[in-house]
Structure 1
Amino acid sequence: MKPFRENFNFSRPILGDVIALVAGVVYTLAFAPFNLSYAVFPALACLFFATLALSPKRAALRGYVFGLGQFGLGVSWVYVSVHDYGGGGLLGSLLIAGLFVGFWALFPALAVYLATQLPYKRSSRLLLCPLLWVLVDYLRGRIVLEGFPWLQIAYSQLDTPLAGYIPLVGGYGTGLLAALSAALLVGIASKPKSSLWMLASLAGLWIAGGWLRTQAWTQPIGEPIKTALIQGNVAQDKKWLPETRIGTILRYSQMTEAHWDSQVIVWPESAVPAYLSDVYDAFLLPLGQAAKAHRTDLIVSVPSYGNTEGEKYNSVITLGREAGMYRKVHLLPFGEYMPWQPVSGWILSHFNMRLSQFTPGRPDQPLLSAGGYRFSTSICYEDAFAENALRGLPEAAYLVNATNDAWFGDSIEPHQHLQMARMRALEAGRYLLRSTNTGATAIISPEGKVLSQAPLFTATTLTGTIEPMAGLTPFARLGGDAPIVLFMLALLLMILIEGNTQVIGACLGKARRCEGKP
């Protein structure tokens, strides 16, 4: 049988680029709502295989084409947000969405460029590609523009045996194991005669992950809490209109009053289409008093003003037996604040787009309480980052996320966002109450499973029970992603030192041979 490389010559420019584009699309099919979890492995295997025969520049182009397929499908919802709800016209929305996709496609290109450019021993090749893929993903997901972690490989593995590693090493650690699985496939296909150890490694990795999925890292500490999550289904383009404001407030009030038998009631992000000071006395104060009379705690999301002019926060407050406020810390770039000023501001004003400008809250805010227990709060985009869920542990007995995915309409974004929320529950070992305006409202278990979910674009209340949890997962004990990423950087450094030693040794050997010639 011919080696894989002889059967499929990925070094041919046009064929290789077409395959890379298709592979990028296939990669994205592993994520929600498509949920073809195993598709990431042949997709990444195709990309990694291309690095074996291409020059650094050609590999970078191949990676960029892969990224265009990956993000072209994976973040197609940007067009919906800009055009339908941001006020952008057709051409302007297409341009902004295209620039967005083109920018993030640079990161797969960077990963494969480095994989072909950096010195390394041939035996380290199978580890170098996965390491660089995940480290560049970390750069994209946590550092550039304060992070855009969409389509991080581990999110696609929540329903596979690799999910067993998430409570131990989190999303980036599990992502390394997933990318390593793809690299092992490349090794097996490239060298079928010497692939026994690679097959054994791949099987052992997945068998161990399956066993780890059976382990419980946290435990219940009290009686179940009866909860109600309100999904008002208020269209984003109507939500802030003056003529619909009272109707929206009455809708949430009436849906709440029908569930006074619940111990905790959660409203979605910015459920109240007005600032806190404008509606507190007339609306929220009486509602809080009614909640207290029924021994119920309300978790309400409402924007609020700060103490200085122009200071505005995206906030969550608690009403009922205990009052408190949380102000969103990790704001959404281009949605809640404008990076790259003044260029970004000029672009948005040129296309007549309307976006908010919020102030970030302090990271050391005290935990809120509801249902007799403290909980960790996140607002919308914050549930894309592990540190936001871990910040309140171990004191937090459960997690609450208030989200407004109405900005993205009937696109794939709400499904992707729910998938990311599942990761946070699994990393923390806590139940997660996720209330959204139009979907996907859900109750998620400490194992990252969706226990119940409300249908999208329906005004409804999702009821259920959760258990307050105690204890820490190994990932939470580590303190999050930082130690895992530092380990990967150290591993990369070892590979580079080993590779440079080999290069220097080869040069010295060549020099000695030259000295011996007449």
Structure 2
Amino acid sequence: MKSTILQWQNLAQKWRWPQAALVALSGVLMAIALPPWSLWPVAWVGLVPLWWMVLATPTVLLATAYGLLWGLVYYGISLAWITHLHPLMWMGVPWGSSVAIALSAWIFIVLWGSVCIAFWGGMMAWLARRWPGRNRWLVLAGTALWCALEALRNHSPLDWSPLSLTQSPDNLWILHLARFSGPGAITAILVATNGLLALALAEGRRQTDLPPLSHSSPIHPSTHSPIPRPILAAMALAITGHALGALLYTTTSIASPEQSVTLGLIQGNVPTREKLTPQGVRQALEGYTDGYRSLVEQGVDAVVTPEGALPQLWNPNTPQIAAIIQTVRQGGVPLWLGTFAPVPGEGRQQYTQSLLELRPDGDTYGRYDKVQLVPLGEYVPFEAVLGRLISRLSPLDSYLVPGQPQQQFITSVGVGVVGICYESAYSRLFRHQVRQGGEFIITASNNDPYPLWMMMQHHGFDVLRAVESDRWALRVTNTGLSGLVDNRGRTRWLGEPQTYLTHRATLDRRQNLTPYSRWGDWLTPFLLGLTLIWGWRKR
């Protein structure tokens, strides 16, 4: 205990507010590179202050604190939309508990991301002190470690705001690097470029108020030239990445016209606080019925609805669901309905968040069950421990169960790749479906009660998924933003938020596989292996 107190006292003595301000500025710069601001060029220099401070700090603990600070700023800004969960009084939650739920959700996911960056900062400082002078090896190690942490976080129940999202949806050339190894390829080139620039800044540094880089410092000056070699390396890396992405962008093949499919979407615009009431159920039933009939008249192959479009447990005998089935029989066109479907089996009845294909014969065929459920929203993690506490704060039920990762959404018009809600952030779920024959992407979301800038981030994820898999993507939401993205990442159509609308869209059905679809994220283990081999040889 006494040793811990002394460590924190030592940290407080070495903590310098100018350096902390630079780290916080770095977090702000990377945050504004994300949608909705989408200042993507900033991301190519925004990480430099964090790199510099982490490698120049006198202790590992201080570098860890800088990493934590950067994460709190970056994730705190980019995920502030989570606080729009409040108010929840319409669910019977008291005002105080509603605020507590919203703030707790925001703080928890911000801390989760921040702890990962704190670990990265501490590890980089430890490596820099253990093996001083290995500047370019440190850049490689830092890049590999950042990619590994993002990959691990993407296998957790909570993930959002990876560095790759800073380049979406506008920097289409660099997005095409994801075809090689997924979003990790974009993260790698961003982290490495920033690391090289930080080296150049440190090597060219002279007398400033920042921590001196003495002969014992992990970063040493190299040769003196008009343009330092790290800057030349950073420029070469960025230019090569954009050139390679541009080549992929311009050489993307075009599908033949007979491979197209025409889908209609309905953006119901029924707020969650209303659609769970009898009046809201009627409004949803009327809106989706009218929209379905309108799209059938326009000539579509199928009609798609958002996540939880009909907020009822699936039972063909209930009046509302029976009415939907009768409408599809009359229309003669399949309907892909977002609902809560029962899990076959005995014992306690369980349900999944699902997208079902209803055909004119009245039966359901294609089915996708949501894999990545929302903690506290759709299930209670560690229910034996947290169940009683959560029940005091909220009436949320935990009856939903996740679907199996290996699924196929086989429909009457082809095999679809489906993501529900924030599954758009999980590239591995889409990759598995593409490998199993998925020809186009459908993402179905609610997005209420979140603001427009969250919707724009969600759209950025869908652009990433379309590019990395070389598939067209149709985004269907309750309150927005619904849209259409082609396989090059170009947004062909984007609907207005917070409005009821229908849209007819034509998508290409594609069967080819990108390197990422075939082999997954091979770059991260390659970088880790290269780091170990290079480090061992240097040793």
Category of TM-score, reference length = shorter chain: 0.7 to 0.9
Over 6 Å off, 4+ runs: none
Please state how far the C-alpha of 1:274 moved relative to its aligned partner.
0.7
Q: Distance in 1 between the 2:417 and 2:255 partners?
A: 17
1:29 is aligned to: 32
Task: Report the counterpart of residue 125 of structure 2 in structure 1.
Answer: 116
Matching residue of 1:317: 356
Deviations 1:228-268 (A, max 9, x none): 11001001111111333223212211111111122121000
Query: Which one of the candidate residues 123, 147, 156 is aligned to 2:166?
Result: 156
Q: 405, 408, 418: which one pairs with 2:447?
A: 405
Question: Are the aligned partners of 1:64 and 1:109 in contact in 2 as well (CA < 8 Å)?
Answer: yes
Label 1:401 to 1:95 Cα distance change in 2 as closer, same or farther (>3 A): closer
Residue 183 (str. 1) matches residue 195 (str. 2): yes
**3-state SS of paired residue (2:411):** strand
Higher alpha-carbon deviation: 339-348 or 21-30: 339-348
Partner of 1:512 in structure 2? none
Secondary structure in 2 matching 1:265: strand
Q: What is the alpha-carbon distance in structure 2 between the residues aligned to residue 497 and residue 98 of structure 1?
A: 40
Secondary structure class of the residue paired with 1:116: helix
- The question of whether the paired residues in 1 share the 8 Å contact of 2:141 and 2:531 is answered with yes
Following superposition, the deviation at residue 134 of structure 1 comes to 1.8
1:165 paired residue among 174, 177, 184: 177
Partner of 2:411: 369
CA drift at 1:413: 1.9
Equivalent runs, 1:55-454 vs 2, <5 Å:
55-84=59-88, 87=93, 88-91=97-100, 93-118=102-127, 119-120=130-131, 121-142=134-155, 146-158=156-168, 159-160=170-171, 161-191=173-203, 193=225, 194-195=228-229, 196-216=232-252, 219-220=255-256, 222-260=258-296, 261-277=299-315, 279=316, 282-284=319-321, 287-288=324-325, 290-291=327-328, 294-306=331-343, 307=345, 308-320=347-359, 323-352=365-394, 354-370=396-412, 372-394=413-435, 395-406=437-448, 408-410=449-451, 412-454=453-495
Q: What displacement does 1:332 show?
A: 2.2
Contact kept, 8 Å, 1:218 with 1:471, in 2: the verdict is no
Alignment partner, residue 208 of structure 2: none
Task: Give me the TM-score of the superposition, normalised by structure 2.
Answer: 0.83
CA distance in structure 2 between the partners assigned to 1:117 and 1:450 by the alignment:
44
C-alpha displacement of 1:23: 1.7
The CA distance in 2 between the partners of 1:176 and 1:237, in whole Å, is: 41
CA distances 1:125-156 after superposition (whole Å, capped 9, x unpaired): 222222222222222222xxx24331111122
Change (3 A) 1:475 1:392: same
Q: What's the % identity of the aligned pairs?
A: 22
RMSD of equivalent CA atoms:
2.4
Match of 1:8 in 2: none
CA 1:92 to 1:399, structure 2 compared with 1: closer, same or farther past 3 Å?
closer
Contact 2:306 2:446 in 1 (8 A): yes
- How many residue pairs are counted as aligned between the two chains? 482
Distance 1:378 1:206, change over 3 A: closer
- Shift of residue 345 of structure 1? 2.8
Partners in 1 of 2:287 and 2:101 — Cα distance?
A: 35
Mean CA deviation greater in 346-355 or 75-84: 346-355
Structure 1 pair 468–96 and aligned structure 2 pair: CA distance change class (3 A): closer
Q: Which piece of structure 1 moves more, 26-35 or 101-110?
A: 101-110
CA separation of 1:228 and 1:51: change in aligned 2, threshold 3 A: same
Question: Is the Cα–Cα contact under 8 Å of residues 165 and 209 in structure 1 kept in the other structure?
Answer: yes
State TM-score, norm by structure 1. Answer: 0.86
Letter in 2 for 1:72: G
Q: Is the contact between residue 219 and residue 471 of structure 1 (CA under 8 Å) also seen in structure 2?
A: no
Give me the whole-angstrom Cα distance separating, in 1, the residues matched to 2:404 and 2:357.
Answer: 18
Q: Which amino acid aligns with 1:185?
A: L
Q: Quick check: 455-464 or 317-326, which moved more?
A: 317-326
Counterpart in the other structure of 2:54: 51
Q: 1:15 to 1:271 in 2, by over 3 A?
A: same
Query: In the aligned structure 1, how far is the partner of 2:377 from the partner of 2:254?
Result: 35
CA distance in 1, matches of 2:260, 2:75: 41
Distance in 2, matches of 1:83 and 1:171, equals 34
8 Å Cα contact 1:433/1:443 also seen in 2? yes
Seen in structure 2, the aligned counterparts of structure 1 residues 92 and 164 have a Cα distance that, compared at 3 Å, is closer
Deviation at 1:290, TM superposition (A): 4.7
Kept in 2, the 8 Å contact 1:439–1:457? The answer is yes
Report deviation, 1:295.
4.5
Bigger mean CA offset, 195-204 vs 57-66: 195-204
Note the residue ranges of structure 2 that are not aligned, 5 or more in a row.
1-13, 205-224
Contact 2:270 2:283 in 1 (8 A): no
Would the alpha carbon gap of residues 93 and 401 (structure 1) be closer, same or farther in structure 2, given more than 3 Å must change? closer
Q: Distance in 1 between matches of 2:279 and 2:105?
A: 31
Cα contact 2:270–2:280 (8 A) shared by 1:
no
The residue type paired with residue 85 of structure 2 is S
Q: Which segment drifts farther, 306-315 or 248-257?
A: 306-315
- SS in structure 1 at match of 2:444: strand
